[in-house]
Amino acid sequence: MSQWAIDIQDLCFYWQTEPSTKLPILDHCSIQIPKGEFWMLLGTNGSGKSTLLRTMAGLLQPQSGQVQIQPPVGFVFQNPDHQLVMPTVGADVAFGLVEEKLSYAQVNARVDEALDAINLLALKRRPIYALSGGQKQRVAIAGAIARHCSVLLLDEPTALLDPESQFDLVTQVKTLVQQKGLTALWVTHRLEELSYCDGAVLLEKGKVVQTGDPSAIRARLQQSWVTKSD
């Protein structure tokens, strides 16, 4: 059995803008992320972070390369309003379980377990519209937990949140990884969030330029910013 929850090899992706014109986004990317760890994916705007995450989730099909990822996979969008579809918290978490053909009791147990894991069980019957941004993101995560996902992919989940909610969400995901054995890959551009992860990947212009130690990647980015400001 592979030690990798995510194994990406030589991945290439481009947009066909015109019949004879290709806009390259990902250039021979290779990434391996161990099972049961919390990793982050960093890069400037336009570096290909979201595109890479979407190919992992199967939302985009690469032109070449291999994607092996431990199923089932959960995906959390930057804006939770793009994926929360039911009127209440409990109903939305349950919605993702429809295809599993579980009994009512099994669905209810899965929903309660997932909401309890993210400390939102008390809000099970609350309308989605009455939640804060941070609570909505946690409901999206609960949907993945209820489906017993092995891998959780998060596309800049704190981008629309206030600082306190940002901190709450990143610590919540770190706790879930530790307690449930999930593997999480979190896209971010915030260097302070690197303090919470086990490893990191840096993209530049669609290429993986560094992988591994988060502190080394933080130092590289900080030095780059200093150099540009001189």
pLDDT one-digit tens code per residue, 95-128: 999 888 899 999 999 999 999 999 899 999 999 9
The pLDDT tens digits for 52-102 are 999 999 999 999 999 999 999 999 998 989 999 999 999 999 999 988 889
Tell the burial category of 112 from Cβ atoms under 10 Å away from its Cβ (0-12, 13-18, 19+). Answer: middle
| Overall number of domains in the chain | 2
CB of 199 within 8 A of CB of 33? yes
The verdict on 56 and 145 lying in the same domain is no
Domain that holds residue 230: 1-71+152-230
Can you tell me the distance from the alpha carbon of 184 to that of 205, in angstroms, rounded to the nearest whole number?
A: 23
User: pTM for the complete prediction?
Assistant: 0.90
CB of 167 within 8 A of CB of 134? no
Tell the burial category of 164 from Cβ atoms under 10 Å away from its Cβ (0-12, 13-18, 19+). Answer: exposed
The verdict on 41 and 130 lying in the same domain is no
Tell me, yes or no, whether 76 lies in a domain.
no
The verdict on 214 and 188 lying in the same domain is yes
Can you tell me the distance from the alpha carbon of 111 to that of 58, in angstroms, rounded to the nearest whole number?
A: 25
62 closest CA partner among 39, 37, 31, 20:
31
C-alpha count within 13 angstroms, C-beta hemisphere, residue 220: 17
